[in-house]
Structures are given as structure tokens and as C-alpha cells.
Amino acid sequence: SAVISQKPSRDICQRGTSLTIQCQVDSQVTMMFWYRQQPGQSLTLIATANQGSEATYESGFVIDKFPISRPNLTFSTLTVSNMSPEDSSIYLCSVEMRAGGYTFGSGTRLTVV
Amino acid sequence: AQTVTQSQPEMSVQEAETVTLSCTYDTSESDYYLFWYKQPPSRQMILVIRQEAYKQQNATENRFSVNFQKAAKSFSLKISDSQLGDAAMYFCAYRSGYQGAQKLVFGQGTRLTINP
């Protein structure tokens, strides 16, 4: 299965600033998924990133707040913009290598102060 | 839209005992996949077990097995001979059977504690 390198693993940021999270996959994948996991909660999909086209965002998430880049088939970034304390969460990227074969990054724990 | 429900926010079990985590889901599709993921404090999401809806036989992985009841839309996870390392959050998840990469829909999670 694929291996995903996600960074940073954690960060503490000032409100009003932005943080960019990177995910590098060791093989080519068509789609990458970005999830948010708020404290004590489950994973919620933010968007699906397809190489060569704009990301598809889920209800409640907008591109201005969570811009995504997907420059090639092995790499993607998620930016959390104009952060507030409510953005404090774990952010995870994921890919599906085959039907039912999902791999996740190790997650980025973001704290906004 | 599909939904996944885990009705047990927390469960605890004595080491070496057996515990069952519940999961129900709602879908109008006939072809889909179901998963149980484990998330220890390290945050890493670890696949525990997978079930294809078209398979009647329940999936088994060592000490982990599922009871898949398609008509009832139920997908419970049984952990036998519980070990301290099994302590984690457990998430039930659903994937549509449509072709192409598909997102996972997660349940709310069950926090499992193992008592020594």
C-alpha cells in the first residue's frame, strides 16, 4: 500500500495567519482526500483533490478558507487561511490505492491561539 | 446521502475478554464497502478490517471479526482476547461501490478502554 508523508506533524499558530499542510505520496494517485477531525470528533471530509482540476469541496467548506493545490499525482497541499481558534483540529490527508485500500497521513495537529 | 452511526461513545473491557462495537449505516446502494479503523493516541488511522457488501461471509482478521447484517444495515466489530494495545478510538466507515476513487463516510467513533 501507499505511504504518505504529511507535514508538519503539529503547529501552534496565531489567529489571522495561515498554515499550509503538505502530503507527499510515494506513488501516483488520482484523487487525494483532505479530512478535518475536530477535538474529540470524527473525521469530516473537507475536499477531494484531483490532479489538473479544481478541488471539490464538501458542504460547509469553501475554497477561500481551505485552498488546495494538486500540482502532480503524488503531492497536494491544504492551506488553512485566516485562522481562528475554531480551526484548531487534526487535519489528515488520505488516498485510495484500490477499492477499499485507503492510506492516511499521520495527521497535522493544529492549535490556533 | 449515506450516514454511519456508532451509538456507543465509550466502551471498556477487561484484558483478555471479548468486546463488540456497534455500527449501523443508512444507504440506498446495494454495492458498497464497510470498514473499521483504529486511531490510537498517535493519531494514525489504521485499517482493522474491511467488508465487501456483496460477500455474505463475515470478514475476519486474527482477533478481529465482524457481524455484517446487510438487511439490517448493521456492521459490528468483535474483538476477542482484548489486549492493552487495542485501546483506541474505533471508527466505522462506509464507501460507495461506484467505480473510481470514493470518499469515506465515518461514524462518530467509539473510545475503547482496556482494563488490565
Span A55-111, pLDDT tens digits: 999 999 999 999 999 999 999 999 999 999 999 999 999 998 765 678 999 999 999
CB contact (8 A) between residue B43 and residue A90:
yes
Q: How many CB atoms lie within 10 A of CB B43?
A: 18
Q: Count of residues for chain B? A: 116
> Testing the interface with B: which of A51, A104, A106, A111 to mutate, by most B Cβ within 10 A?
A104
The whole-number pLDDT of residue A52 equals 81
Q: Which of B102, B105, B108 to mutate to test binding with chain A, by most A CBs within 10 Å of its CB?
A: B102
Q: Please judge whether B109 and A30 are an interchain contact, meaning their C-beta atoms are less than 8 angstroms apart.
A: no
Task: Kindly determine whether residue B100 and residue A30, on different chains, have CB atoms separated by under 8 Å.
Answer: yes
- Give the model's confidence band at B85: pLDDT under 50 very low, under 70 low, under 90 confident, else very high: very high
Cβ within 8 Å, pair B45-A104: yes
Task: Please judge whether A41 and B108 are an interchain contact, meaning their C-beta atoms are less than 8 angstroms apart.
Answer: yes
* Per-residue model confidence as pLDDT tens digits over A2-51: 899 999 999 999 999 999 999 999 999 888 999 999 999 999 999 999 88
Q: Does A7 touch chain B (CB under 8 A)?
A: no
- Cβ atoms < 10 Å from Cβ of A94: 26
CA angle A2, B43, A33 (to 5 degrees): 50
Contacts of B72 (CB under 8 A, 6+ apart): B24
Helices and strands in chain B, H and E counts = 0, 12
- The mean predicted confidence, pLDDT, of chain B is 94
